[in-house]
Amino acid sequence: MPISNYPFLKEEKERLKDLKLKIDEIPEHPIYGHLLGASIDDINGKAKDLGDPDFSIISFTLSKILLSIADDKSLNEAYSERKSEEFRQRLERETLPFLIKIGREELGMDIKTEDSLRIGFIDFLRFKPDFLKLAQADLKAGYVQITKTQLSWLLKGAISKSILRSIPKKQKFPEAFQRAANRIKSQAKESGRIREMPRIKSLNQDALPPCIKEIIKSLQSKSANHNAHFVLATFLTTLKLGEKDILEIFKKSPKYNDKIARYQIQFIKERGYICPACDSVKSYGLCVANCPRNNPISVYFYNLKTRKPPHGKS
């Protein structure tokens, strides 16, 4: 697969420098001017294949500039989550040597391949998704044995953090960029993607997205996996539901452990995790419908407004 599919790579950043393109020239540029709109779409989760490798790296850079101007943590996190998942899905189709190269050379990960594929346990803990557990892993001499698929998930975690770090500090940009950032924030507020919401007193069961309803059912039947627990917990904490009410929902599980549940909820709050977007929920195998929004939180507030649960992707 072309390297240009991964605009976070050092090689791609160097290519951007070689273009000698000034930021303030982009909005009116005859070739690159359309990329400002493409970056707005990218942040809104509607990215299109731009065809040209140069377009991809410029759009990726512009997206981070617009996020810097918008200055909203939840937008940044949603973008880094979605883009890193997009890259993870591409990486899964690559060869193992390519993944190892990305991990070592681009992301500074401690990966060994002498006897088996292993990663340093510190990197494992830093970048692992919730469903990978150190207690269930083969740990030897400070290294955790992993599969190629697990490596792709660890790369996703590292890429997500890398994207967040690469969002520039807020500074003065051309007015066209400010207008674009304002448009993004306005659209995000309308769709419920910006997490500016009061603490809800209680959960409206009728407004729950189909995926969340299904996860709650699976709690009762003991079939909920780690991903399901994570999606449900982040959904409830993003809504700012009180801890007592969150625990009451998890108590529906026959396997409920109060100490573990409290710890996990507190951990999610401290890390600032937000509910994954629908694309991620779908990749976890938890999507059961086709909703008119692209995030379970947005679906919930959409349902509250319409009082009519939609049929759709969640």
Helix (H, G, I), strand (E, B) or coil at 208: coil
Residue 79 lies in a domain: no
41 in the same domain as 14: yes
Digit-coded pLDDT (tens) for 290-299? 888 888 998 9
Instruction: Say if residue 243 is in the same domain as residue 266.
Output: yes
In a domain, 128, yes or no: yes
Helix (H, G, I), strand (E, B) or coil at 169: coil
Q: What is the pLDDT of residues 106-145, one digit of tens each?
A: 999 999 998 899 999 999 988 988 778 888 889 998 999 9
Backbone angles phi, psi at 119, to 5 degrees: -130, 145
Mean pLDDT over residues 192-204, rounded? 66
Statement to judge: residues 58 and 98 lie in one domain = no
Beta-carbon neighbour count of residue 71 at 10 Å? 12
Residue 76 lies in a domain: no
**Residue 313 has what pLDDT?**
47
Q: Do residues 210 and 302 both lie within one domain?
A: yes
User: Is 22 part of any domain?
Assistant: yes
Domain contains 226: yes
The segment with the largest mean pLDDT, out of 104-113, 248-257, 272-281, is 104-113
Least confident of 27-41, 94-108, 113-127, 135-149: 27-41
287 and 267 part of one domain: yes
Residue 170 burial by CB count (10 A; 0-12/13-18/19+): exposed, middle or buried? exposed
List beta partners, residue 112: 118
Helices 226-238 & 210-220 angle (0-180, nearest 10)? 130
Is 225 inside any structural domain?
yes
Sign of CA dihedral 312, 76, 18, 36: positive
Predicted local distance difference test score (pLDDT) of residue 157? 93
Reported pTM: 0.61
Token pair, residue 272, equals: 């600032």
Asked whether residue 212 is domain-assigned, the answer is yes
Inside any domain, residue 197: no
The amino acid present at 313, given as its one-letter code, is: K
On whether both 223 and 152 belong to a single domain, the answer is: no
Choose the most confident range, by mean pLDDT, from 81-85, 151-155, 262-266: 151-155
Residues 175 and 301 in one domain: no
Whether residue 182 is found in the same domain as residue 217: no
Residue 9 has pLDDT above 90, yes or no: no
Between 8 and 101, name the one with better pLDDT: 101
Tokens for 18, please give them: 């070689």
Q: How many domains is the chain built from?
A: 3
Q: Do residues 258 and 300 share a domain?
A: yes
Lowest-confidence range among 20-24, 78-82, 88-92? 20-24
- Does the pLDDT value for residue 314 go beyond 70? no
Residue-range definition of the domain harbouring residue 16: 3-71+170-191
Partners of 261 in the beta sheet? none
How far is residue 137 from each of residues 30, 260, 263, 276, 278, measured CA to CA in Å?
53, 19, 21, 25, 29
Round to whole Å and give the CA distance between 229 and 219.
8
Are 126 and 184 contained in the same domain?
no
Q: Where are the alpha helices (DSSP H) in the chain?
A: 10-18, 35-43, 53-70, 73-91, 96-101, 121-127, 148-166, 175-191, 210-220, 226-238, 243-250, 258-271, 278-283, 296-306
Q: Are residues 124 and 255 in the same domain?
A: no
End-to-end CA gap in the chain: 30
Shared domain check, 292 and 222: yes
Q: Give whole-number Cα distances, 85 to 114, 127, 152, 283, 303, in Å.
A: 28, 13, 10, 9, 27
